[in-house]
Structure 1
Amino acid sequence: MLTDIAVDNNTILIMRIILAALMGGLIGLERDMHGRAAGLRTHLLVSMGAAVFMILSGIIATSSQAIRGNLMIASDPGRIAAQIVTGIGFLGAGTIIKEGLTVRGLTTAACLWIVAAIGMACGAGCYTIAVATTIISLIGLTVFHYFEQVYPKYTYRILTVVTSINIAPNQIIEVVKRDKLNINYLETERNYKDNTLTVKLYIHLFRKGLGHALSQEIVASLEKAEIPLINISWQHQ
């Protein structure tokens, strides 16, 4: 009888780990399809590991109570669970990359954090919470990604134009303002050795989408104004 109970209990625990791996793997697959550093395997392992730690915290608490018997000694099963959150914080920080003024990886870090929560829910036997959180997370990552293109929002860009030293910076500024772009501030640099002028404009705009087509419009406007372009770049700020 006791053996049957142990076998049934182990089966349930294994099913919790498998469910955690599946739930975490689904979110990891979405990240992997977008070419992120933390993909399918990372999310799967994080979710599964969180589930195992939750299972162990419950087993340790139960075992310690059985050993102590009637002794009034408190056992806190939440200690291991609390350390999971701390550990995920370090792991998530490793996915955040800062390139100049651009920060990448925040969504992936949040995914690792939510995947750990899903794993903890599976380990604790809260299957409904785990499944619901996974579905909502996938909707947020996929559907809302396209929804962001629908409404206008403020975006910040850096426009760098390299042209002839004979061109005045005001000529470039007039073209940019003509395209209804707001200039926060600018930097200019003259290279007398190469006879080039570099104008770096820090721009903010309020419009739909990511503004990729806008860079082509600016190039066309500069060419129309007969400004010789040596190099031009359009970057996120």
Structure 2
Amino acid sequence: MTFENVVPMEIVFEKELYSCEFSVIFLILLRSQTCIMKVHRGRGPRKYYEPEDRELDIHVLEATAYRRLKEQGLCDRGIVPQFLGTLEKFDPRQCRPFLDAFIDDEYLPSAIFLEYIPNMEMIHLHNCTEKRLDGLVRGIREIHAAYIEHGDPRPRNIMVFDDDPERVVWIDFDRADTYDKEQITDEQKERLSEEEAIVLGLRECLELDLPKGKLKEAYIFYCT
């Protein structure tokens, strides 16, 4: 299911889940479905000193990545949350008081809607298993097979579940680059290889730390 032609007045805000400089995540009710709304701050025209060879708008980056992931079946396979649609450049005053932090912004915010998956928690030593380590590597490989570079392959974006010993879900694609399969460059292929190497390094470090029950080798992945 995808939400089409959403208007802000339809959205019932339940609570704020997370906030940072660039976005705010809410639990909402939309058309009788509980889901996630991630609101991205608006962005103006590209500055003269900013690179012209890649997209810089985090909303465009994340929405584009999720559309590709959905097309390639990763949402249906549970590797990433279901992508439910977007709300483009809307007036935050229609969502007061929840979006009051956006009202004085120079540019209008946009949002994506995602499946709400309860009971997620970041992968860590206390919930780390070989099956989950297999799952995190398999997940990034499938993301790369869709020609997407995640851009932030850290434990904070890798979720596991108490009631499912094997499922691993990758989240947060607002730094992702989505490549054209037919025109992918050698440099882009190298970036995908380097990102996989980072994830393999995370796995190796967690495996080394597991017997000790304390973060040491993997500590760097959790403090950045």
TM-score, normalised by the number of residues in structure 2: 0.23
More helix by share: 1
| TM-score of the aligned structures, taking structure 1 as reference length | 0.23
Larger Rg: 1
